Amino acid sequence: MNFCILSTGIFIIHQNLNREKFLSLSLFKWRLLAGSFLGGFGVVLMQFGIHVDGDVLIDLRTVAIMIAAYLGGWVSALVAAFILIICRLTLYPVSFSALINVLVLTASTITFSIITQTNMGVGKKWSFMAVSYVIVLSVTIHIVIPDIRQAFLIFIQYSFSILSATYGTYMLGSYLWRNDQENERLKQIAQKDHLTGLNNVRSFTHSLDSAFLHAHERQEDLSLLYIDIDYFKKINDTYGHPAGDKVLQQVSKILTRSCRSVDIVSRNGGEEFSVIMPACGFESARIVAERIRQSIEQTVFVINKEAELRITVSIGHATAKQVNSQVSTQLIKEADEGLYLAKRTGRNRVCYFENYQYMSVSR
């Protein structure tokens, strides 16, 4: 029963602690929360303990403290242990055995906290926590159970239970961690353009909505650049699609280098790119757009040993000033209209859309 509850509880706590609203907490608050969850989990395990001698229980509450120490260090371990001790003294009669149990939990919590702060591997940490608890148990069990033979038998049962539960927890935790890593990898793949490594159009839409919400909350400007490679089809037709792919990859690197670390660069499809620029006003966006245009115009794109070429880009940009009543689709439309103007008036230029009038600002 305890092992079923242990496995189920680990899964449920893992799912809850990895929820976005909890991950957004400060590290200290998250550790307090983890300790509280695991302290409550330990109380549940204690309720399903096996009575072997009076008020002596064999249960897996200590594993909850191990998990707390591993996840959140001494803060989580201390919170979990405090909850367990209070519930042990409240839910069961206060006796000599109960006081010894408090001593064992305290000593174990300190030991687990020290072990998890070392640089040893994950497997070794779990092994040392299990062994350290068995050592603490071997020192104190004879105090609670004077009969040496009975104390020895209970010690063997308890030790086997703890060692098995610790191993099972380590294996289940490793599986959940690998599963998280794989999910994160798949999530990254779904959000990235496979050729350039930039965000794809799906990620662009999500990022723009998030940037809009953030700008609205802080009453900041938000700018958007739409960038399109001029005559890109001619490159594919003349040099082949592999050459076009190389151009796209090199352009993506120039865009990344030309923008701020907070800017979000995406490939929106084909030869079209975008840059979301949080807390960026009109003039700053124009300067960045012009820097991108000049950098690409001045770059020699090496296709192969025999072929080099130069390309240009057209850029449309728009700015939502102190975002209030606008929506992201309006900003997209204005940047796209600016790009359309740049294409229509000769390409290789930066244009913007303001007050429903087209304006050319460079070239």
Distance CA 167, CA 127 (A): 8
The more confident residue out of 24 and 163 is 163
- 103-111: average pLDDT: 93
Residue 114 has pLDDT above 70, yes or no: yes
Q: Are 330 and 318 in contact (CB under 8 A)?
A: no
295 pLDDT above the threshold of 90: yes
pLDDT in the model for residue 64: 94
Backbone φ, ψ for residue 229 (5° rounding): -75, 130
| For the ranges 14-18, 46-50, 209-213, 346-350, the one whose mean pLDDT is highest | 346-350
Model confidence at 11: pLDDT above 80: yes
Give the H or E element holding residue 144. Answer: helix 122-144
Q: Are the CB atoms for 13 and 41 separated by under 8 Å?
A: yes
Q: Which single residue is written with the structure tokens 């940047």?
A: 335
Q: Dump pLDDT digits (tens) for 68-102.
A: 999 999 999 999 999 999 998 888 788 887 888 88
Position 355 pLDDT exceeds 50: no
**Statement: residue 258 has pLDDT above 60:** yes
Residue 219: CA atoms inside 13 Å, Cβ hemisphere, count? Answer: 0
- Looking at residues 193-214, what average pLDDT do you find? 91
The average confidence (pLDDT) of the chain is: 88
Q: Does 305 score more than 90 pLDDT?
A: no
Band (pLDDT 50/70/90 cuts) for residue 324 is low
pLDDT band at 356 (very low <50, low <70, confident <90, very high): very low
Residue 167 has pLDDT above 90, yes or no: yes
Q: Is the pLDDT of residue 357 over 70?
A: no
* pLDDT tier, 52 (very low <50, low <70, confident <90, very high otherwise): low
Pairing of strands 308-309, 313-320: unpaired
Q: What is the pLDDT of residues 267-291, one digit of tens each?
A: 999 999 999 999 999 999 999 999 9
2 has a pLDDT exceeding 80: no
Segment 323-330 long-range contacts (CB within 8 Å, at least 24 positions apart): 323/212, 323/215, 323/216, 323/219, 323/220, 323/221, 323/222, 324/216, 324/219, 326/212, 327/212, 328/208, 328/209, 328/212
The predicted pLDDT at position 130 comes to 94
pLDDT at res. 54 = 54
The token duo for 64 is: 């909850």
pLDDT tens digits for range 55-66: 556 778 899 999
Helix, strand, coil shares, percent, the chain, to 5: 65, 15, 20
Token couple for 249? 């990859």
Q: What's the confidence (pLDDT) of residue 346?
A: 92
Distance CA 137, CA 56 (A): 12
In the prediction, which pLDDT does 5 show?
86
Q: Give the pLDDT score at 149.
A: 85
Task: Assess whether pLDDT exceeds 50 at residue 358.
Answer: no
The mean pLDDT of 217-236, rounded to a whole number, is 93
Question: Does residue 127 register a pLDDT over 80?
Answer: yes
Q: Is the pTM of this model over 0.85?
A: no
Q: Is it the case that residue 298 has pLDDT exceeding 70?
A: yes
